[in-house]
């Protein structure tokens, strides 16, 4: 769901007012049954999805029906037949994802390199479904695939029949269906099986705090940074670094904001979602960064790609790690820059494994240079460089920027002066204010890490802070919200 669109909140309100009015009256007359809550949640989720995109809704419903019937059948079969059915489900799910997301890339960018004129001919054809990726396809496909694997492995799942409404609510749960977090059967499904609307003060307060944090990160930080990022700046390395830095902030505030809004909405309903971010920019190594960034996707690739690929062949673990991260980059987008981004992070992890540990041991033995700060600076710098791969979808321009960055004489004082005066006075002031807010929020995350509380965001979701963040959101929210970046994936 697109939380930055007015229609989402309007439709949600239009659904909730009559539904909860009827529910309240029916409960007063002792006419309400628990199953009506389950039906209401399913209707709410599907209604919001239909409002977001009618064509995507049709694809989504077809996938839900197919997956439910096949998983229901799988759970009734013995081991060999169940494995065959599970394989069929996964192949079909991945094939649907590949058709909508990767077909153009394979024809135009891969086969087009070998067969002259193929890309032009392909572009002139009208292929159903080509041109845009159905919202949420990547996320709910991964969630459905994980459900198949977990159900196949679970003895408990085999003993208990799978209710259709429960499966619909698991797959379509509206706060997270479009952009995650990617939930596992063991975490979300038990909550869905016993779902009742728990409209308590505690749930409202908890939901409000995460919602305030998410709204502030998205509408004040991410959306106010977005207009200042200029992709066409190629010649000046200072500016290339600066815009990559701004994008590094924007993508975290954008996606982290979405995840926290989803978390808050779920808490309103009494459902606990996974924390998808754990203050990633406080990391002191790339390993730590990937334990804190997009947690549910990272663990998905670990459990369903890396471990099955490696099997018992531990000697080739580094190779499989590199392949897994490259595939992770490809999941983000059907373009060379995303593949390069994934490979870059896979390579960084290998560098840390073979070179980084001795280096950090040497740094850690001396005290004057603040080893923790050096580790953080190297990690954050590596993440910024990675974001350059992520933000720049034009491959030729990406290569030009990389050449500019590695050319020493480009770091001249004249280029630095140009960078410092790039924005006019009003633009510079607005950007500085946004960056002050950004640094303040990241610093509070760091304090949360040092305190080792329940979460890294403990200080940001305190009662007084959540109310301050809401006021700041009302005062400083961008006039024109930008689309959620991860909707493109």
CA distance 455 to 268: 19
CA distance 179 to 136: 6
- Calculate the alpha carbon distances from 22 to 12, 15, 370 in Å: 16, 11, 62
Length of the chain: 489
Structure tokens at 222: 């991410």
With 0-12 / 13-18 / 19 or more C-beta atoms within 10 angstroms meaning exposed / middle / buried, residue 346 is: buried
Backbone angles phi, psi at 209, to 5 degrees: -65, -45
CA distance 53 to 177: 13
Cis geometry, peptide bond prior to residue 348 (ω within 30 degrees of 0): no
Closest CA to 179 of 324, 4, 311, 408: 4
CA distance 325 to 463: 39
Closest CA to 195 of 266, 126, 248, 251: 266
Q: Note whether 404 and 237 are within 8 A (CB).
A: yes
Sign of CA dihedral 448, 442, 303, 134: positive
Active site members: 332
Q: Note whether 310 and 320 are within 8 A (CB).
A: yes
The two most distant CA atoms of the chain are separated, in Å, by 79
CA distance 281 to 293: 9
- Calculate the alpha carbon distances from 178 to 2, 141, 280, 441, 451 in Å: 8, 10, 22, 26, 33
CA distance 377 to 362: 16
CA 98 to chain CA centroid, nearest Å: 19
Q: Note whether 178 and 142 are within 8 A (CB).
A: no
Q: CA end-to-end span of the chain, whole Å? A: 14
Token pair 């730590």: residue: 288
Helix axes 395-405, 371-391, angle to 10 degrees: 150
């Amino acid at each position: 769901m697109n939380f930055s669109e007015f229609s989402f909140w309007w439709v949600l309100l239009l659904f909730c007012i009559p539904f909860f009015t009827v529910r309240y009256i029916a409960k007063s007359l002792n006419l309400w049954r628990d199953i009506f809550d389950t039906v209401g949640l399913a209707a709410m989720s599907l209604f919001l999805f239909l409002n977001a995109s009618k064509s995507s809704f049709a694809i989504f419903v077809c996938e839900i029906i197919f997956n439910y019937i096949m998983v229901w059948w799988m759970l009734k079969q013995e081991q060999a037949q169940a494995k065959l059915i599970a394989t069929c489900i996964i192949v079909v799910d991945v094939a649907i994802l590949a058709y909508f997301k990767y077909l153009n890339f394979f024809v135009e960018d891969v086969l087009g390199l070998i067969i002259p004129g193929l890309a032009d001919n392909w572009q002139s054809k009208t292929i159903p479904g080509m041109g845009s990726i159905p919202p949420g396809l990547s996320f709910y496909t991964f969630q459905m695939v994980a459900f198949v694997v977990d159900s196949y492995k679970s003895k408990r799942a085999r003993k208990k029949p799978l209710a259709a409404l429960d499966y619909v609510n698991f797959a379509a749960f509206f706060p997270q269906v479009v952009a995650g977090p990617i939930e596992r059967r063991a975490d979300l499904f038990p909550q869905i099986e016993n779902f009742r609307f728990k409209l308590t003060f505690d749930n409202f307060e908890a939901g409000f705090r995460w919602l305030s944090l998410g709204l502030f990160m998205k509408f004040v930080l991410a959306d106010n940074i977005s207009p200042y990022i200029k992709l066409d700046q190629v010649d000046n390395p200072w500016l290339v670094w600066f815009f990559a830095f701004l994008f590094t902030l924007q993508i975290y505030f954008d996606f982290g904001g979405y995840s926290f809004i989803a978390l808050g909405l779920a808490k309103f309903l009494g459902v606990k979602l996974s924390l998808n971010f754990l203050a990633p920019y406080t990391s002191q190594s790339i390993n730590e960064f990937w334990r804190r960034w997009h947690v549910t996707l990272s663990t998905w690739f670990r459990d369903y790609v890396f471990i099955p690929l490696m099997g018992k062949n531990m000697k080739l673990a580094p190779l499989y790690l590199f392949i897994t991260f490259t595939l992770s980059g490809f999941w983000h987008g059907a373009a060379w820059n995303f593949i390069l981004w994934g490979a870059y992070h896979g390579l960084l992890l290998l560098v840390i494994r073979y070179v980084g540990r001795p280096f950090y041991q040497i740094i850690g033995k001396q005290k004057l240079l603040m080893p923790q700060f050096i580790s953080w600076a190297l990690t954050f710098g590596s993440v910024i460089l990675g974001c350059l791969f992520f933000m720049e979808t034009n491959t030729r321009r990406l290569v030009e920027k990389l050449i500019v960055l590695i050319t020493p004489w480009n770091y001249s004082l004249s280029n630095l002066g140009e960078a410092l005066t790039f924005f006019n006075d009003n633009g510079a002031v607005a950007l500085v204010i946004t960056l002050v807010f950004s640094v303040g929020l990241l610093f509070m995350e760091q304090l949360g890490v040092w305190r080792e509380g329940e979460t890294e965001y403990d200080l940001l979701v305190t009662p007084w802070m959540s109310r301050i963040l809401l006021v700041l959101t009302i005062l400083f929210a961008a006039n024109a919200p930008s689309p959620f970046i991860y909707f493109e994936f």
